[in-house]
Amino acid sequence: MSSYAITGASKGIGREFVRQLAADSTNTVLAIVRNPKSADISDLASKHSNVHIIKGDVTDPKSILEAAAAAAAITDGKLDVLIHNSNAVDKDSMASTPSQLPFDAQAIQNIFSPSLNTAIYGGIWATNAFLPLIEKGAQKKIVHISSGMADVDLINKAGVSSGVAYSIAKAGLNVTVAKYAAELAPRGIKVLALSPGWVDTWDGEKPAEVVYANELLLKMFQLVEPELKGQIQPEESVKKCLQVIENLNAGSSGSFVSHNGDRSRWF
């Protein structure tokens, strides 16, 4: 019997974490979402009595503290695993390279804020809010969802110069994880930065520009992994991520790995 809290649980990878964890009726699954009335997550919760939807926005300190308090009321003040999955990007600038970024302070803030707010600031607030629960849990694990796009070797080998703000934010997240691991090790708490792979989280038919962007990325990624055919589905990604989380221990705490459990296979 284990308890899990997942931020950004209303769609994509977060929702799939909830679905797979809820399949074990002995688990208590806390879906932390900005909009509890979201059809996707509320429908899933209606099928599983062990899923509890909690309103919480990681970019709002008061909101995520209230979410942690609500979670504590459900789990008797304990939590085994926190999965910080929340993510946001400025889609208009995702194709831009560093030299194409504007000489405009406000524009730069608009480009970087969504990723920094969710990955770094939100990651710190979510971790700190749920830390008292994690300390009382049995597994004592905190997982931050990162990205292979924050791996310097992958960037250099594949020549991926776009996705600047997203990649920088995830790299900062990785450092944050290492800092937490160093601080919390004496308390038996394990912390991990985990890339879910290159995952297709798009709902419905993809716009032409998204298809084109994915085709360009595929060619770049094939420079690193020639046999790569394309994106994987959330189901496959989360299944592998949960295996990595299960194997997380004091020796691997503070590291940055892929859904395959290493740093050599990001896809």
- As annotated, the active-site residues are 147, 166, 170
Q: What's the rounded Cα separation, in Å, for the pair 68 and 74?
A: 10
Helical H runs in the chain? Answer: 12-22, 39-47, 61-75, 105-116, 122-136, 152-158, 164-184, 208-221, 234-247
Q: Which of helix, strand or coil describes residue 109?
A: helix
* β-bridge mates for residue 3, sequence order: 28
CB environment 18-41: b (16+ within 10 A), e (fewer): bbbbbeeeebbbbbbbbeeebebb
Helical H runs in 138-233? Answer: 152-158, 164-184, 208-221
Whether the Cβ atoms of residue 182 and residue 254 lie closer than 8 Å to each other: yes
Residue 167 phi, psi (nearest 5): -65, -40
Token couple for 264? 């050599």
| Angle, helix 39-47 to helix 12-22, in steps of 10 degrees | 10
Question: If you count them, how many residues does the chain have?
Answer: 267
Q: What's the rounded Cα separation, in Å, for the pair 85 and 12?
A: 10
- Burial of 108: CB neighbours in 10 Å, binned 0-12, 13-18, 19+: middle
